[in-house]
Structure 1
Amino acid sequence: MTLERRFPDYGRVTNLCLAQKITLEQIAQKSGYDRCDIYGQTPACNECCVGSTPVIQSGLDIMQLSNTINSTSDTVQTCLSDNAGRYLCEYIYYTSLSIDKSRSIFVHVPPLDEPYSAEQLAEGLAAIVRGLVRQLRNLKLDQAVPT
């Protein structure tokens, strides 16, 4: 069963890239994209073409997600980052956050066996997805409760 079928009300954007640890990105910057792509091009004015906010923070509680995984997992650990690299990763993340910061996350993952096996990485990513689904469920419940 796909996530869309199981949780149809939970739209989400999840992006992955390589890192030394399972790294959860918290923010993305609009500017600073001065490295050339494979065609020798950079974005106009070295800025992301969407959005107007200089810095966008995920509306998800990334710190809580990391703390929960780190305190409950025997095999993987996560860390937090405020710098997704000011290249393709951060550009993609900024674009995702511009579209919907309440449901966007960017996860950098290490190469296989450095230090985690494929099974351990899959377990870590599954824990991230479970944590995000829990957050979105709780948010939906909080919004449904009249104040």
Structure 2
Amino acid sequence: MDSQSSCVVVTGFGPFRQHLVNSSWEAVKELSKLGLGNDLGVELRILQLPVDYKEVKKRVTRIWEDLQPQLAVHVGVDPAAKAIFLEQCGKNRGYRDADIRGFRPEHGLCLPDGPEVIASGVSMKAVSRRARVEGVEVAFSRDAGRYVCDYTYYLSLHHGNGCAALIHIPPLSRWLPASLLGKALQVIIQEMLEETEKARAQGLVHGKLGLGDFSQRELTGGLLL
């Protein structure tokens, strides 16, 4: 991957189940109106992904092969969430729920020979502490839920050598309109880009991390927060 790439790709998801309007894509569209800030000198590219394991695998591969982004940020909806969650890692197994086409990955796996866990080179805990968004809490998570969002994240981390992120946002509501969620994405991604540069400078964004890279406390304590 070209470390000098000035492209940031942000994806949202299309409809699934009862979510005929997916807040993730609505928020990403709002982000595209705002941009990431001229001073960052990066091009923002947005893409909608279907809630479809097979199609996601193709599109994530193309993102990294064709666009070679500095960072890929995937945004998904968590129907039960009241806060925005920044996911630290993607998991390789446990994908049992069917996608919009009724498909489930064979043996519940992303990659048959992949590591159990791949962690982002971005410290989501640090970003969650610094990101201040009026009207919504920003929190940190280690469990992205084993559905198409988590599947997408794992694949993107694999192809991007850790230069990826997953943000789970709540559904749209009167208190959380798309405009607010779009602004929240702008603030959070700006912080992620700063964190990525720090990690790059320290040589941390360079490869895939497995279970051995986590302390026992991290593996057994609080998966969600």
Class of the TM-score when normalised by the shorter of the 2 chains: 0.7 to 0.9
Task: Indicate conservation of the 8 Å contact 1:50/1:98, yes or no.
Answer: no
CA drift of 1:101 comes to 4.2
Q: 1:29 aligns with which of 85, 91, 100?
A: 91
Q: CA deviation at 1:84?
A: 1.4
1:97 to 153, 157, 167: 157
Q: Secondary structure at the match of 2:160?
A: helix
TM-score normalised by structure 2 residue count: 0.55
For structure 1, which runs of at least 5 residues remain unmatched after alignment?
none
State the shift of 1:75 in Å: 3.0
Q: Which has the higher contact order (CA 8 A, sep 6+)?
A: 1
1:54-65 to 2 correspondences below 5 Å: 54-65=116-127
Percent identity between matched residues is: 26
**Partners of 1:78 and 1:97 in 2: CA distance:** 22
**Structure 1 47/131 Cα, relative in aligned 2: closer, same or farther at 3 Å?**
same
Relative to the length of structure 1, the TM-score reads 0.80
Q: 2:76 aligns with which of 17, 20, 32?
A: 17
CA distance in 2, matches of 1:55, 1:141: 23
Question: How many residue pairs were aligned?
Answer: 139
Q: Which residue in 2 is equivalent to 1:134?
A: 194
Shift in Å at residue 49 of structure 1? 2.8
Q: 1 CA distance for matches of 2:159 and 2:75?
A: 17
Deviating 4+ runs (over 6 angstroms): none
Other structure's SS at 1:102 match: coil
RMSD: 2.5
The runs of 5 or more residues in structure 2 that have no matched partner are 1-5, 8-39, 44-67, 204-225
* Equivalent residue, structure 1, for 2:103: 41
1:73: Cα distance to partner?
3.5
